[in-house]
Each structure stands twice: as structure tokens, then as C-alpha cells.
Amino acid sequence: MTLALEINGLSKRFGSHQVLDDFSLDVERGEIVGLLGPNGCGKSTVLNIVCQLLPADAGRIQLLGTPIGQFGAKARSILGLCSQNSALYGDLLPEENLDFFARLYGMAPAIRRARINELMDDFGLWPHALTRVGRLSGGWQQRLHLAVSMVNRPDVLILDEPTAAIDASARVDLWHLIERLRESGTTILLTTHQLSEAQHLCNRIAVMQNGRVIAQGTVPELLARVKGQAIVNIESHERPAVMQRAMNLGWLAFNGSGELSFLLSQQSDLRAVVSALEGIEVTSVSIKDVTLEDAYFELLREHL
């Protein structure tokens, strides 16, 4: 089956700053792929190039198996974009915003009206039909923004940090909406810097650093990149003694959340860990499974 999106060897420089350097990523049809990476690593630049808002210095993009340049203006009917900056008109009502974008796509009046009704239904916007968009909460504005990006029924939807700066419950609502879009056959490439979001929503995750993808895979595949089974966090005033003991035990120092974090190559339980530390004064010991967050930070550290 042809890929929804095939990005190959993308590079982009702003002045002397090489933002993208041989960036490649495939997105299969019907999946949600999350592009994850620290602020400023080039996520939006990738999306803007894919949506042809920005030219690349080099690289090749295929959309549904065809070089994207060959679509011309028709690319607009295949790709939808929900950019990081809202495109909405705050003085207008939700339906008026939808109508504005439907006109941009050149929809005939009757089709336009039907599509607007459908989007107002699908995105649950009717309760706010009479509220000017500028007065809607961030979560509702983002819902409308998502609806706007679906006006043209795109096959491939690009979402740039769709849930940044909205509260936790609105975020979960948006996740449901995004999942529904996938279920109805839309392929989605999104960026986020929230690991929980990537873990919840995405079939595959690509981790980006220094302008390229440094790792990609499903959550279990990324977890498997961490060469360990469990992480031990210790608090102690006898730091050098803990370090020495850990070394003797073959525990690897780990760049984790705690002050003294170690990666264990085997599953272990708290009792065994505590007894391994016998003779050293510790104030706290905990043991946990490797999480996506651990894997993410480990991957970034490896590639520094």
C-alpha cells in the first residue's frame, strides 16, 4: 500500500542555523504519528514544509505516493493543517469561521451549508453557536480550529501541537476527537512535546533532535531502546557510597528524575534493592518500570 506521507532527506537552513538536516519520516495510511522533540528542534518547520508554506533547501516529499509538487493547488484538498498559531477570526461566530474557510476551498453554497452543519455536529459546537470565537475558552477554540482544518475532508491531517496551552479535561476531549478522525480514515501527523499525549494518541512516535529523527517506533519499541528493565531512585547523604555500591552491583547511572537514579538490567523488587544497599544510610528508595519519558530523555542524551 502506498504511504500517506513520505518525507525524505529534508534540509532547511535559516541564515547560519541548520534547522533540518536530512530529516526523513514515513507515515502510513490510517495511523497517527507523533513527532516529538524539544522546543526549537524544528517540528513546526517540518510541518510547514510539508504543507508548502515554506520551501525546503533539499529533500523530497511524496503525498499518497505522488511527489507533492505535482498536486499543485489540489494539494489543498488532500492535506489539512491545524497550525500552531490559530487561524480563527475572533470577531466571528463558529459557523462564520467555518463558512469563511469553506469559501476559501471554493465550495458551492449548498454543499458548504451541509458541511458546516456536519462539522458543528461532529465537533459538538452547537452549544457555542452564538458565542464569538474570541470569547470561547482555549479548549473550545481549539476544537473549532480542528473543525476548520477538516472543512475540506483532507486525507492527511497535520496538527501542530493541537493541545498546547489548554486545560487537562479539554485535552482529553480533543484526544477523543482526534481518535475519531483516525477511525473515520484520516491519517494524522502531529507534533507534541507531551509524552503522555504521544503515548495515548499515537500509533508510532518519531523523536527528533538536531534537525533529524533519532528514533522512531511504537511505544514498546521505544521502551526497548532503554537497555534496562527497571529504574531505581535513591535519596541519601552518602552519595559517594551509593555510587560505589551501584558500580559494584553493575547498576548503570541513569539520567532520571531522581538525584541518584540507576538502571537495572533485570527486574528486581524493592526488598532486593534495599538489601543490596545495606550499610549505607538512605532516606528513600523507590523502584519503577521504565516509562516513555525515561526512554525519551535517554534517547536525547545518547544523541547529544
> Which spans of this chain sit near Mg ion (rule: CB under 5 A)?
43-44
Instruction: Report the residue number whose CB is nearest to Mg ion.
Output: 44
Interface with ligand ADP (CB under 6 A), residue from 4, 10, 32, 41: 41
Amino acid at 45: T
CB of 251 vs Mg ion, minimal distance in Å: 37
- If contact means CB under 5 to 8 A according to the sort of partner, which of Mg ion, ligand ADP, none does residue 42 touch? ligand ADP
CA-angle at 160, arms to 29 and 20, nearest 5°: 85
CB of 15 vs ligand ADP, minimal distance in Å: 7
Contacts (Cβ under 8 Å, ≥6 apart) of 167: 138, 139
Q: Which is nearer to ligand ADP, 46 or 273 (CB)?
A: 46
As a whole number of angstroms, the distance between CA 162 and CA 150 comes to 14
Interface with ligand ADP (CB under 6 A), residue from 19, 79, 263, 264: 19
CB of 54 vs Mg ion, minimal distance in Å: 12
Count the site residues for ligand ADP by CB under 6 A.
10
Alpha carbons within 13 A on the beta-carbon side of 170: 16
Contact status: 42 vs ligand ADP (CB under 6 A):
yes
Q: Which is nearer to ligand ADP, 45 or 142 (CB)?
A: 45
As a whole number of angstroms, the distance between CA 283 and CA 146 comes to 49
Contact status: 43 vs ligand ADP (CB under 6 A):
yes
As a whole number of angstroms, the distance between CA 9 and CA 24 comes to 5
Q: Are 19 and 42 in contact (CB under 8 A)?
A: yes
Plot region of 296 (φ>0 → left; ψ -120 to 50 → alpha; else → beta):
alpha
In the chain, DSSP finds a helix count (H) and a strand count (E) of 10, 14
Element (H, E) at 75: none
Contact status: 57 vs ligand ADP (CB under 6 A):
no
Q: Which is nearer to Mg ion, 115 or 212 (CB)?
A: 212
Interface with ligand ADP (CB under 6 A), residue from 34, 37, 94, 228: 37
- If contact means CB under 5 to 8 A according to the sort of partner, which of ligand ADP, Mg ion, none does residue 19 touch? ligand ADP
DSSP-based three-state secondary structure for 129:
coil
Q: Which is nearer to ligand ADP, 11 or 66 (CB)?
A: 11
Binding site for ligand ADP (CB under 6 A): 14, 19, 37, 39-45
